[in-house]
């Protein structure tokens, strides 16, 4: 499954109202660790089924970053049934992301 671009406009539909868990990567273009996290999420999205993967640019979607109190990036939040079920801050390995997702 491909990684979707999450924005303030599609957040409710793609994340909060999703029938499956959603891993959202809060990132920024200028963030070095975020640039390293992206390909790991891309790879994982091809390997894991039953989970939606999204990336949210904090500079373009500041209100969502503030709402979810994202102070450091990358921040990874797993949403299930519209609520945060798990979270991690900082660069995560593929195995770390699998544990976060419970897969």
Question: Which listed residue (6, 23, 34, 73) is catalytic?
Answer: 34
Tell me which H or E stretch contains 79: strand 75-80
Closest C-alpha among 94, 101, 78, 98 to residue 18: 78
Question: Which listed residue (22, 23, 24, 31) is catalytic?
Answer: 31
Active site residue 31: yes
Active site residue 4: no
Q: Which residues are catalytic?
A: 31, 34
């Amino acid at each position: 499954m491909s990684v979707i671009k999450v924005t303030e406009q599609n957040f409710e539909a793609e994340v909060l109202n999703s029938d499956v868990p959603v891993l959202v990567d809060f990132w920024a273009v200028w963030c070095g660790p975020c640039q390293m996290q992206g390909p790991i999420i891309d790879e994982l999205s091809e390997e894991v089924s039953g989970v939606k993967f999204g990336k949210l640019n904090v500079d373009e979607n500041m209100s969502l970053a503030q709402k979810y109190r994202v102070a450091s990036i990358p921040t990874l939040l797993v949403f299930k049934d519209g609520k945060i079920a798990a979270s991690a801050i900082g660069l995560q390995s593929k195995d770390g992301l699998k544990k976060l997702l419970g897969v």
